[in-house]
């Protein structure tokens, strides 16, 4: 089958031919005719199989008729991340060279004023992240009544990032008669519920089992100690031993770990870059471009780089942290082995990662081979329990010793205080006259009774007495 048999327009076929593509992928062959027939489509395929072109090409054909109006886009494409949105824009620029269509990109990190200017000119294709789209709508700069086609790309990633309430709100703002296209590599139950709500009798195009991994990717596990410096050493060992390593993406679960690992690899003189969600948009796009061009060999990234990014020649993927969500594993290793190429994915596993590894193998329905010795998770669990038990016992013994040590001094202090009070009550106050005519005190202690007595001396023995207090009182003048 060729693109000529799918019903695309001459302009689109010319652009596809200029891009060097001859035969459509399975998802493209299944989805493009259905989109051209104006049917709702639910497309499920492995990452790297050309899902973006499966809705980009037929949309270009359908948009050849009609005209855009100010602030009223004709089509809307929702993407979970800025990078994916920018990548879809690049696809429209590549395949739409023979069209005079206005394409607008609404993402965070870019000036509102520049985006408003594009909307005011009229937009045929609006590509946006949900948050920024709703910001423009609430500011009154965007009207959604004219949307003819709605595309929700990477729907499962939308779920992971908490965008589902925004998606539901956006769908209610768009005309009911729209055409809706869903594309994703996985289809969790929550997304299935969403498709049943917003898709009307969709054509389901499923070219691979849900949540399956590509056969072109060789998957391996590597045991590692849980300490960070041990994991970094294990990663460097894998990087040195990896065969045919052209470039690689190293995935971490947390942004903080991305920065830490990036600095560590940089200190060990690796050609490395970093990518995570807290970086500004300009830096993120520049980092991706340098990685695509080969200026950076290793890219340490969070899951912001795990979904849909089209970097065809990534030879290796390293999971520095095993993903907590099993479906993220499918997307991560899908960055390699794209467009029929072969790739390799390594995952570092610690003794506390058993449940995450088990979830991945259950999802992908395959057992992953180990490099070197595997981890005996049962023995590791018993060792952790023994350590916790020992730690609790030592803490209990230590707290008991501390309580006993504190109780003894308190008893002595109480006894001493009672003895002092008793002796002080029994002792008498002895006042000796001084040569200066002022009484001095020669008592060892004063009872409560003597302290309340106004005739008792004001100073104890050894206390310095100011000179003015030693003077004779002046006699009172006779009135």
What does the alpha-carbon distance between residue 45 and residue 53 come to, in Å, rounded to a whole number?
13
Kindly tell me if the per-residue pLDDT of 412 is higher than 50.
Answer: no
What is the residue-wise DSSP string for 262-311?
A: HHHHHHTT--EEEE-TTS-HHHHHHHHHHHHHTS-SEEEE-GGGSSS---
Q: Which of 340-349, 402-411, 413-422 has the lowest mean pLDDT?
A: 413-422
Q: Which of 115-124, 203-212, 234-243 has the lowest mean pLDDT?
A: 203-212
Residue 412 or 294, more confident = 294
Rounded to the nearest 5°, which phi and psi values hold at 370? -100, 150
What does the alpha-carbon distance between residue 256 and residue 254 come to, in Å, rounded to a whole number?
5
The whole-number average pLDDT for the span 371-378 is 88
pLDDT-derived band at 398, boundaries 50, 70, 90: low
- Tokens standing for residue 50: 């050309």
The whole-number average pLDDT for the span 234-238 is 95
The set of residues, in sequence order, having a beta carbon less than 8 Å from that of 144 and lying 6+ positions away, is: 72, 73, 76, 137, 170, 173, 174
What does the alpha-carbon distance between residue 294 and residue 291 come to, in Å, rounded to a whole number?
5
pLDDT-derived band at 401, boundaries 50, 70, 90: low
The whole-number average pLDDT for the span 379-399 is 74
What pLDDT is attached to residue 407? 56
The whole-number average pLDDT for the span 445-456 is 48
Residue 441 or 456, more confident = 456
Residue 369 or 426, more confident = 369
Range picked from 182-196, 398-412, 457-471 for highest mean pLDDT: 182-196
**N-term to C-term CA, the chain:** 133
Kindly tell me if the per-residue pLDDT of 256 is higher than 60.
Answer: yes
Q: Which of 22-36, 242-256, 368-382 has the lowest mean pLDDT?
A: 368-382
What does the alpha-carbon distance between residue 44 and residue 182 come to, in Å, rounded to a whole number?
8
Tell me if 185 sits within 8 A of 46, measured CB to CB.
Answer: yes
CA atoms within 13 A on the CB side of 322: 23
Residue 417 or 339, more confident = 339
User: For residue 11, how far is the Cα from the chain centroid?
Assistant: 41
Domain ranges within the chain, ordered by starting residue: 3-206, 217-381
Q: What percentage of the chain carries pLDDT values higher than 90? A: 49
What homologous superfamily does CATH list for 217-381? P-loop containing nucleotide triphosphate hydrolases (3.40.50.300)
Q: Which of 247-251, 356-360, 466-470 has the lowest mean pLDDT?
A: 466-470
Residue 243 or 426, more confident = 243
φ/ψ bin of 99: left (φ > 0), alpha (ψ from -120 to 50), beta (otherwise): beta
The answer to whether domain 3-206 and domain 217-381 are alike in fold is yes
Residue 52: count of CB within 10 angstroms of its CB: 25
Rounded to the nearest 5°, which phi and psi values hold at 353? -100, 15
The set of residues, in sequence order, having a beta carbon less than 8 Å from that of 376 and lying 6+ positions away, is: none
Helix (H, G, I), strand (E, B) or coil at 314: coil
pLDDT in tens, 429-449: 444 444 444 444 444 444 444
Which residue, chain included where needed, has tokens 């409560």?
448
What does the alpha-carbon distance between residue 112 and residue 384 come to, in Å, rounded to a whole number?
53
The set of residues, in sequence order, having a beta carbon less than 8 Å from that of 163 and lying 6+ positions away, is: 80, 130, 131
Helix (H, G, I), strand (E, B) or coil at 335: coil
The whole-number average pLDDT for the span 352-372 is 91
Give domain 3-206's CATH architecture: 3-Layer(aba) Sandwich (3.40)
Asked whether the CA dihedral 158, 119, 200, 169 is positive or negative, the reply is positive
Nearest to 322 by CA among 387, 279, 242, 377: 377
What does the alpha-carbon distance between residue 17 and residue 214 come to, in Å, rounded to a whole number?
26
What pLDDT is attached to residue 47? 67
Kindly tell me if the per-residue pLDDT of 183 is higher than 60.
Answer: yes
What pLDDT is attached to residue 442? 43
Residue 426 or 42, more confident = 42
Kindly tell me if the per-residue pLDDT of 414 is higher than 70.
Answer: no
**Is 0.85 surpassed by the pTM of this model?**
no
Which residue, chain included where needed, has tokens 């390293």?
318
Q: What percentage of the chain carries pLDDT values higher than 70? A: 82
Beta bridge partners of 126: 76, 104
Nearest to 384 by CA among 392, 396, 394: 392
Tell me if 73 sits within 8 A of 133, measured CB to CB.
Answer: no
Q: What is the mean pLDDT of the chain?
A: 83
What does the alpha-carbon distance between residue 299 and residue 249 come to, in Å, rounded to a whole number?
5
The whole-number average pLDDT for the span 47-71 is 89
The set of residues, in sequence order, having a beta carbon less than 8 Å from that of 55 and lying 6+ positions away, is: 31, 35, 41, 43, 77, 151, 153, 181, 183
- Tokens standing for residue 338: 């794209």
The whole-number average pLDDT for the span 126-155 is 94
pLDDT in tens, 315-355: 999 999 999 988 889 888 988 887 678 899 999 999 999 99
What pLDDT is attached to residue 441? 42
What letters, b where the CB count within 10 A reaches 16 and e where it falls short, cover 60-97? bbbbeeeebeebbbbbbbbbbbbbbbbbbbebbeebbe
């Amino acid at each position: 089958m060729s693109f000529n048999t799918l019903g695309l327009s001459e302009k689109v076929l010319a652009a596809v031919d200029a891009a060097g593509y001859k035969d459509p992928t399975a998802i493209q062959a299944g989805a493009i005719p259905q989109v051209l027939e104006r049917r709702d489509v639910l497309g499920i395929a492995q990452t790297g199989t050309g899902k973006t072109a499966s809705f980009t090409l037929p949309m270009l054909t359908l948009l050849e008729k009609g005209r855009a109006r100010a602030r009223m886009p004709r089509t809307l494409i929702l993407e979970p991340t800025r990078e994916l949105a920018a990548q879809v824009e690049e696809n429209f620029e590549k395949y739409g060279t023979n069209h005079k269509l206005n394409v607008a990109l609404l993402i965070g990190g870019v000036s509102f004023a520049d985006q408003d200017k594009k909307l005011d000119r009229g937009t045929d294709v609006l590509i946006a992240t949900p948050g920024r789209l709703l910001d423009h709508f609430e500011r009154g700069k965007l009207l959604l009544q004219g949307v003819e086609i709605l595309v929700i790309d990477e729907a499962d990633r939308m779920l992971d990032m908490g965008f589902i309430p925004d998606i539901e709100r956006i769908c209610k703002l768009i005309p009911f008669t729209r055409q809706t296209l869903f594309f994703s590599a996985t289809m969790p139950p929550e997304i299935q519920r969403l498709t049943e709500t917003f898709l009307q009798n969709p054509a389901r195009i499923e070219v691979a089992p849900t949540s399956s991994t590509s056969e072109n990717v060789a998957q391996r596990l590597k045991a590692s100690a849980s300490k960070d410096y041990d994991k970094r050493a294990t990663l460097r060992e894998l990087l040195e031993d990896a065969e045919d390593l052209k470039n690689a993406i190293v995935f971490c679960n947390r942004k903080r770990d991305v920065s830490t690992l990036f600095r560590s690899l940089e200190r060990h003189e690796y050609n490395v870059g970093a990518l995570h969600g807290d970086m500004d948009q300009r830096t993120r796009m520049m980092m991706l471009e340098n990685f695509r061009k080969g200026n950076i060999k290793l890219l340490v990234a969070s899951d912001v780089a795990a979904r849909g990014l089209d970097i065809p020649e990534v030879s290796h993927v390293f999971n520095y942290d095993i993903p907590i969500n099993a479906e993220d594993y499918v997307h991560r290793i899908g960055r390699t082995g794209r467009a029929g190429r072969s790739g390799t994915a390594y995952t570092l596993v610690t003794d506390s990662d058993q449940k995450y590894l088990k979830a991945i193998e259950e999802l992908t329905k395959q057992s992953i081979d180990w490099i070197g010795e595997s981890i005996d998770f049962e023995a590791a669990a018993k060792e952790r329990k023994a350590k916790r038990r020992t730690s609790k016992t030592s803490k209990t013994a230590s707290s008991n010793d501390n309580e006993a040590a504190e109780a003894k001094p308190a008893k002595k202090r109480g006894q001493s205080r009672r003895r002092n009070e008793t002796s002080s009550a029994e002792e008498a106050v002895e006042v000796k006259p001084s040569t200066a005519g002022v009484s001095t005190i020669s008592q060892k202690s004063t009872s409560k009774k003597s302290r309340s007595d106004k005739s008792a001396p004001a100073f104890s023995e050894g206390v310095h007495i100011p000179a003015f207090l030693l003077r004779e009182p002046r006699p009172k003048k006779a009135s």
